[in-house]
């Protein structure tokens, strides 16, 4: 299970790096508004996915891990938002932080269903839910990156 979660995290990071390189190559093509929309959508989704996978990988949640994932989401948003202008920088940062906070909360609830007072029979399917949510978040990153790459062609 750990190998699967690490591979999903690596796929998310590689997909993020590839779409960032594509955006830096084609940054002359898009205008400010389109750049801000890309920064908001990509940073939120990437922050969410990376935070979920890190939350699943670390067995005991801590405040340090929460701060690390929030800063990582903000850094991803700043990097993507820096391709255009200052407004995109702020939008990317805020959406990256919000996405990583949502990922931390979702990962905590999947690992411990008692946080939301879910019934006891959900305790039997924690490993299965972790795999499903990890796959879903990775597919979300891949689909969002493909849509952004396609929108650069149109």
Q: Return the structure tokens found at 32.
A: 């400010």
Share of the chain above pLDDT 90, in %: 47
Banded pLDDT at 49 (limits 50, 70, 90): very high
Banded pLDDT at 120 (limits 50, 70, 90): low
Give the lowest-confidence range in 50-54, 81-85, 101-105: 81-85
Write b or e for each residue in 91-111: b if 16 or more Cβ atoms lie within 10 A of its Cβ, otherwise e: bbbbbbbbbbbbbbbbbbbbb
Domain ranges of the chain: 32-153
Helix (H) or strand (E) holding 152: helix 126-153
Q: How far apart are CA 127 and CA 19, in angstroms?
A: 30
30 vs 48 pLDDT, higher one: 48
Q: What is the DSSP string of 62-103?
A: -HHHHHHHHHHHHHHHHHHHTTS-HHHHHHHHHHHHHHHHHH
Are the beta carbons of 4 and 131 closer than 8 angstroms?
Answer: yes
């Amino acid at each position: 299970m750990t190998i699967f979660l690490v591979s999903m995290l690596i796929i998310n990071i590689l997909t993020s790096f590839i779409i960032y390189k594509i955006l830096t190559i084609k940054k002359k093509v898009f205008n400010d508004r389109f750049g801000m929309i890309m920064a908001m959508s990509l940073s939120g989704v990437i922050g969410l996915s990376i935070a979920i996978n890190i939350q699943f990988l670390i067995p005991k949640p801590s405040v340090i891990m929460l701060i690390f994932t929030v800063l990582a989401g903000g850094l991803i948003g700043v990097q993507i938002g820096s391709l255009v202008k200052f407004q995109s920088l702020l939008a990317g940062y805020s959406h990256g932080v919000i996405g990583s906070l949502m990922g931390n909360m979702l990962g905590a609830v999947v690992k411990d269903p008692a946080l939301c007072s879910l019934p006891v029979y959900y305790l039997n399917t924690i490993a299965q839910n972790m795999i499903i949510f990890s796959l879903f978040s990775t597919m979300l990153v891949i689909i969002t990156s493909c849509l952004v790459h396609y929108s650069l062609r149109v």
